[in-house]
Amino acid sequence: MRVCIVGAGAIGGLIGARLAAHTDSEVSALARGETLAALNASGWRLRQGETLVTGKAQASSDAQELGPQDVVVVAVKAPAMAALATQVGPLLKPDTIVMPAMNGVPWWFSQGLTGLGNQPLQSVDPGGAIARAIPLRHVIGCVVHLSAATAEPGLVQHRNGMGLIVGEPDGSASARLAAVHGLLARAGFDVTSSPSIRHDIWYKLWGNMTMNPVSAITGATGDRMLDDPLVRGFCSAVMLEASSIGARIGCRIDQDPEARHAITRELGAFKTSMLVDVERGKPIELDAIVTAVHELGRRTGVPTPNIDALLGLTRLFAQTRGLLAN
**What parts of the chain have a pLDDT lower than 70?**
117, 326
Evaluate whether residue 326 is within a structural domain.
Answer: no
Q: Are residues 6 and 113 in the same domain?
A: yes
Q: pLDDT by residue (tens digit) across 75-121?
A: 999 999 999 999 999 999 999 999 999 999 999 999 988 777 678 89
Q: Give the per-residue pLDDT at 41.
A: 96
* Coil, strand or helix at 75: coil
Specify if 65 maps to a domain.
yes
Residues taking part in catalysis: 204
Instruction: Look up the pTM and report it.
Output: 0.95
CA distance 288 to 294: 10
- Specify the pLDDT at position 326: 60
The domain boundary residue, chosen from 178, 195, 212? 195
**For the chain, how many structural domains are there in total?**
2
Q: What is the pLDDT of residue 142?
A: 98
Tell me the pLDDT tens digit for each residue of 132-174: 999 999 999 999 999 999 989 999 999 999 999 999 999 999 9
Query: Does 188 lie in the same domain as 48?
Result: yes
**Which structural domain, as residue segments, surrounds residue 258?**
199-320
The domain that contains 65 carries what CATH number?
A: 3.40.50.720
Structure confidence at residue 151 (pLDDT): 87
Do residues 45 and 54 make contact, with C-beta atoms less than 8 angstroms apart? yes
Question: Residue 172 has what pLDDT?
Answer: 97
pLDDT at 116: 79
Predicted confidence at residue 278, as pLDDT, reads 97
Residues 171 and 208 in one domain: no
* Amino acid 202: pLDDT: 97
User: What HEC string does 125-186 produce?
Assistant: CHHHHHHHHCCHHHECEEEEEEEEEEEECCEEEEEEEEEEEEECCCCCCCHHHHHHHHHHHH
CB within 8 A of 205, min separation 6: which ones? 104, 105, 242, 289, 293
